[in-house]
């Protein structure tokens, strides 16, 4: 099982030094990858619990973001070149790029440059977004009802631009004549991960058509991972296909090691999955491994857990817990 770090660039208050220290530790401990979070804004209505949908459209969570509107946080996309300069071997990406906030052609060209800046270490995560208020802040409220279609066209445009000297596209969200977009990525192509498409048939079609390299969920239990992987595998079989070699099953999961065991009674997406004693975390990581998860994205809590604590937890995880998990 590989490990990935979900950087806490989105929390009530975070400093560049904290992000730098966490990234350096992930690189030192041979993490597979470091990911940032995509967030355009926090509406003030979130502070009152009055968003149109619950966080992430997950019914178990409140109609609010876990960060205050006046919070001091950093934009995930802008951090990627900085992370490229700060590291040598760990892979980097953003989980997940909400494609409707960005022009597909511009995004494809910028990601190609990021892949060069990182020496071919870029992971590309794509998803549709979930918050109408954020679509309004990005000046694209009209795209909300068609956001999943926007993701599909963005994947097609990225792959077309990355693999052709000249490329043209005529679709619903982009329409341009044969054009060049500069350097192609170092990787041919960068791996694309997807999220937010809770339909195994459509997901399997995307994996088969575009050669997607991974799926990233949020706060998924081992049972969720086993069921979702099995359903996609079944649908791929119907298409006469299978998962691409090295396909990653991932989930962003809140992570903290506690002195005493935590109540891990199932409570939907609010369940303590990787929040608990060292023994609890070892046990559930073994269950994740058996269920088919290849890479958890360790997600430091949004508040109340200082970065120094997360650093200590990562050290303990890699030194004490993961050797037992990988030996299981």
- Look at residue 59 and tell me whether its pLDDT is greater than 90: no
> What's the mean pLDDT in 14-25?
98
Q: 320 is written with which tokens?
A: 């004490």
Mean pLDDT, rounded, of the chain: 97
- How distant is the alpha carbon of residue 87 from its chain centre? 19
- Look at residue 164 and tell me whether its pLDDT is greater than 90: yes
How confident is residue 109, by pLDDT bands cut at 50, 70 and 90?
very high
Each residue's pLDDT tens digit, 61-89:
999 999 999 999 999 999 999 999 999 99
How confident is residue 198, by pLDDT bands cut at 50, 70 and 90?
confident
Q: What is the value of pTM for the model shown? A: 0.96
Each residue's pLDDT tens digit, 288-303:
999 999 999 999 988 8
Position 275 scores a pLDDT of 96
> What's the mean pLDDT in 19-45?
98
Residue 299 three-state SS: strand
- Look at residue 249 and tell me whether its pLDDT is greater than 90: yes
> What's the mean pLDDT in 171-196?
97
* β-strands 274-276, 248-257 pairing: parallel
Q: What is the secondary structure of 99-165 as a DSSP string?
A: GGGS-HHHHHHHHHHHHHHTTS-EEEEEE----HHHHHHTT-GGGGGGHHHHHHHHHHHHHHHHH-S
Position 114 scores a pLDDT of 98
The answer to whether residues 250 and 193 touch, using CB atoms and an 8 Å cutoff, is yes
Domains with residue ranges and CATH for the chain: 4-327 (3.20.20.30)
Q: What is the secondary structure of 190-218 as a DSSP string?
A: PPEEE-----HHHHHHHHHHH---EEEEE
How confident is residue 181, by pLDDT bands cut at 50, 70 and 90?
very high
- Look at residue 197 and tell me whether its pLDDT is greater than 90: no
Instruction: Give per-residue burial for 242-264: e unless 16+ CB within 10 Å, then b.
Output: ebbeebbbbbbbbbbbeeeebeb
- Look at residue 60 and tell me whether its pLDDT is greater than 90: no
Q: 132 is written with which tokens?
A: 């109408």
- Look at residue 221 and tell me whether its pLDDT is greater than 90: yes
Q: Closest Cα partner for 66 from 297, 306, 281, 304? A: 304
Position 303 scores a pLDDT of 87
How far apart CA 152 and CA 154 sit, in angstroms, is 5
How far apart CA 284 and CA 265 sit, in angstroms, is 13
Q: 156 is written with which tokens?
A: 């097609």
Position 14 scores a pLDDT of 97
> In Å, how far are 162, 209, 237 from 169, measured between CA atoms?
13, 17, 31
* β-strands 33-36, 214-218 pairing: unpaired
Residue percentage of the chain with pLDDT more than 70: 100
- If you ran DSSP here, which 8-state letter would residue 237 be given? H
Q: 202 is written with which tokens?
A: 């459509």
Position 281 scores a pLDDT of 98
Q: 15 is written with which tokens?
A: 């400093």
How confident is residue 196, by pLDDT bands cut at 50, 70 and 90?
confident
């Amino acid at each position: 099982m590989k490990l990935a770090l979900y950087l806490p660039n989105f929390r009530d208050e975070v400093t560049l030094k904290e992000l730098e220290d966490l990234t350096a530790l992930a690189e030192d401990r041979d993490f597979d990858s470091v990911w940032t979070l995509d967030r355009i804004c926090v509406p003030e209505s979130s502070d009152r619990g009055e968003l149109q949908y619950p966080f992430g459209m997950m019914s178990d969570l409140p109609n609010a973001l876990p960060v205050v509107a006046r919070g001091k946080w950093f934009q995930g996309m802008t951090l990627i070149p900085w992370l490229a300069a700060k590291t040598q071997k760990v892979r980097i990406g953003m989980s997940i790029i909400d494609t409707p906030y960005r022009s597909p052609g511009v995004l494809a060209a910028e990601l190609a440059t990021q892949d060069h800046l990182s020496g071919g270490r870029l992971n590309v995560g794509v998803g549709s977004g979930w918050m109408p208020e954020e679509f309004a802040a990005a000046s694209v409220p009209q795209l909300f009802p068609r956001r999943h279609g926007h993701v599909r066209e963005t994947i097609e445009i990225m792959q077309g631009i990355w693999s052709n000297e000249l490329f043209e596209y005529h679709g619903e969200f982009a329409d341009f004549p044969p054009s060049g977009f500069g350097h192609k990525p170092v990787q041919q192509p960068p791996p694309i991960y997807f999220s937010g498409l809770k339909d195994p048939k459509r997901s399997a079609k995307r994996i088969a058509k575009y050669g997607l390299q991974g799926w990233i969920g949020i706060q998924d239990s081992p049972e969720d991972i086993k069921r979702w992987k099995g359903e996609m595998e079944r649908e791929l079989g119907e298409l006469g296909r299978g998962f691409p070699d090295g396909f990653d099953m991932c989930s962003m999961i809140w992570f903290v090691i506690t002195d005493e065991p935590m109540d891990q009674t199932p409570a939907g997406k609010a369940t303590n999955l990787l929040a608990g004693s060292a023994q609890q975390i070892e046990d559930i990581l073994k269950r994740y491994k058996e269920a088919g998860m290849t890479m958890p994205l360790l997600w430091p809590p949004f508040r109340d857990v200082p970065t120094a604590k997360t650093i200590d937890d990562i050290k303990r995880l890699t030194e004490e817990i993961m050797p037992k998990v990988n030996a299981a």
